[in-house]
Structure 1
């Protein structure tokens, strides 16, 4: 499998891009890999890159977007930060990826048992991590159940995973609100912005 070219990128639609990722994740779950020569892809992309998707995911070492979606060099823009939230820099990166570099899909990818989400649930404080966790706290506050404070901690994995899903939803809302460029592109069906969750136990990505 060769790296994407300007021509192949131009044939991609938001729906086709999403299907590419779904098919890649199925290969990953079944321990199958597309036949690609990575060194050949290095050569293919030496004069330019034409990715079809932009994926915002957590820094968690188990959630490499290239691996869980079985993609090669030049296929996706991968943005990683603990807790997969957005700020001005990340929004700017997404705008570059879609408006200037031509990707057709943005995926905000959360995952189960997320350490950053656990920290937010426990209101952890430590150096610069404190500021990072503050950006995830709105997702904790947006989940109303359970009401018992003793159940709203990292020890309650169901609560943690619910907060992680809510964090993905709030992140997508922020993209729409804080990036008129991306919001307009989606309204014009030039791109699609979707949320997803990766299950660290099964390797499955569920889109929603």
Structure 2
């Protein structure tokens, strides 16, 4: 996570002794989690710096060596205000724990979740709040492999209100070429993955088209809007643009 406030002397000393002991035994100490950033630190961030921090956090997640959560400290500090560095639109899937995926803690990122990571009006409005009002520097649309919502859209599933939700993904299904008619279904993993990537691409385009606020901020260099796909196999995140 972005480095922040100084630790108390006793905590720092303890951390030093632990790190030294681990070094002597040939083990690497995991990166320690700091307190959430404050408003001045958030303002000083660049979109590229935030993106780098998230991707470095994902590398730690994949390696299995993630930061200590410092939950009690973070709950206390963040109770007086929040200054997250990014807003991430993710699928509802329980196998994609967004904060953990990027090794972030309480107060570090906004997370919007909806099946298929589609850009509803409510999600776009939340992104506008997160960036224009609350100061976040990065908007990420995070899809994932073998997405159930994408599979449903590939198969033309209709079920209550889910029907309307899957309609948001239909343009991605229709936008993927190179597959015969009998290959364009959820049984074809290659087709599903192609639609997952196309869906992320189209959601980003949809956000830019429907949000003058976000588009203006991006054009001014205040924020960056990026797409990514999460691997269920190894936990890695790959940027798509």
Superposition TM-score tier, normalisation by shorter sequence:
over 0.9
Matched, 1:163 2:195: yes
2: CA distance between counterparts of 1:182 and 1:205? 23
Write out aligned runs for 1:1-208 (5 A). 1-146=34-179, 148-208=180-240
Deviation at 1:192, TM superposition (A): 0.1
2: CA distance between counterparts of 1:94 and 1:5? 20
Structure 1 counterpart of 2:25: none
2: CA distance between counterparts of 1:159 and 1:97? 34
- Relative contact order: is structure 1 or structure 2 higher (C-alpha 8 Å, sep ≥ 6)? 1
2: CA distance between counterparts of 1:95 and 1:27? 29
TM-score, with length taken from structure 2: 0.85
Alignment length (residue pairs)? 207
2: CA distance between counterparts of 1:36 and 1:168? 30
Is this contact kept in 2: 1:29–1:204, CA < 8 A? yes
2: CA distance between counterparts of 1:11 and 1:26? 24
Structure 2, unaligned stretches of length 5 or more? Answer: 1-33
Runs of 4+ that moved beyond 3 A: none
Structure 1 counterpart of 2:30: none
Q: Could you list the per-position Cα deviations for residues 122-179 of structure 1 after superposition, in whole angstroms to 9, with x for gaps in the alignment?
A: 0001111111111110000000120x22110000011101100000000000111000
Structure 1, unaligned stretches of length 5 or more? Answer: none
2: CA distance between counterparts of 1:101 and 1:158? 39
2: CA distance between counterparts of 1:41 and 1:145? 49
Larger Rg: 2
Deviation at 1:70, TM superposition (A): 0.8
- What is the DSSP-based 3-state SS (H/G/I as helix, E as strand, rest coil) of the residue aligned with 2:40? helix
- What is the DSSP-based 3-state SS (H/G/I as helix, E as strand, rest coil) of the residue aligned with 2:116? coil
1: CA distance between counterparts of 2:156 and 2:189? 16
- What is the DSSP-based 3-state SS (H/G/I as helix, E as strand, rest coil) of the residue aligned with 2:226? strand
